Amino acid sequence: MGERVLGRLIFCFVLFINYSCQKYSSYSVHSSGSSFVAIEDSFIVDVSVVKWSVGVLHKDTISKGINLKIKMPIMDSSDVKEMVAAGKVDSWLLRVRKMSYSGSSEIGYVKIPIIIPGRTSEMGFKIKQLDYVQLNIYYSSIAVSSRFESLQCPPIDQSKEIGTITLEDSVREMNKITIGATDQERVPGKIEQYGYKPMVLSGGMELTGRYAVDIALLDSNRGSRVSSYFELPSAVEVSGERAKILKGCFNFKVPTIRPNDPDLYQNFRFR
């Protein structure tokens, strides 16, 4: 009985520490009428290589890509209500960028809900804030369809292994995103809905480069960004990429995807 009580006390203490250490992002309205959100405690927490066992008896290991774990901003419920009442805001928008020797590109946009419709609420919505999200950035031929993950051999041009990944921290002098008419812009690409399935974005034929994540506010009904962007104070550097020769995979041909294969439509990521 004593151990059970002690376990509960430890659990409650951990919850208290986590709650008290949370830095809240805040919504404010300037005397001029402009509004902004001060982003606090949001960054890339961790990055890891997503491994793939392939070849004869799946004894060889290559890389599918990388996984990013991101700490999302958390706002007090009163700030969320005030912000939503002031304008058409319902979600965070994450923009993932890749910088490499071949140039810079935006490889994906992801919607993270802040509120969801709720009939039982007097406001007509419920506040839903996620503490953490995870994004996978895969090689292009693997990102096209999860069907390829069950194959013994990958496409021949995608038998690669990532050597080194580095999580770099940096200091941002400004952490505020402004909300105003001049900051509104239709998102120039498909917005992916974050959900229960693993979120997969295509990083291209090569993943070597630097990856940054920007955050903004989104009106998902119009598909429009309604604030300026803020680059999270951390970035990922991928290097040491090398091709691997897999035993038993010489002249392997990837089976043709049939037009009625539902996976083709459900998991395709056009970039």
Average pLDDT over residues 246-254: 75
Average pLDDT over residues 71-100: 95
Which pLDDT band holds residue 1 (cuts at 50, 70, 90)? very low
- Please give the angle made by the CA atoms of 226, 69 and 128, to the nearest 5 degrees: 50
**DSSP state, 227?**
B
Report which of 127, 134, 130, 148 is spatially closest to residue 269, judged by C-alpha positions: 148
By the 10 Å C-beta count (0-12 exposed, 13-18 middle, 19+ buried), 235 is classed as buried
More confident residue, 7 or 79: 79
- Please give the angle made by the CA atoms of 202, 240 and 197, to the nearest 5 degrees: 30
Q: In terms of pTM, does the model score above 0.95?
A: no
- pLDDT for residue 136 is more than 70: yes
Question: Which pLDDT score, from 0 to 100, does residue 222 have?
Answer: 93
pLDDT digits (tens, 9 = 90+) for 138-157: 998 787 776 777 777 876 56
More confident residue, 184 or 144: 184
More confident residue, 259 or 228: 228
Question: Which pLDDT score, from 0 to 100, does residue 168 have?
Answer: 93
Question: Which pLDDT score, from 0 to 100, does residue 78 have?
Answer: 95
Query: Residue 48: what are its φ and ψ, rounded to 5°?
Result: -145, 155
- pLDDT for residue 254 is more than 70: no
Query: Residue 119: what are its φ and ψ, rounded to 5°?
Result: -70, -25
Question: Which pLDDT score, from 0 to 100, does residue 118 have?
Answer: 72
Distance CA 199, CA 135 (A): 5
Question: Which pLDDT score, from 0 to 100, does residue 4 have?
Answer: 54
Beta-strand relationship, 230-239 and 164-169:
antiparallel
More confident residue, 150 or 196: 196
Question: Which pLDDT score, from 0 to 100, does residue 2 have?
Answer: 53
Mean pLDDT in the chain? 84
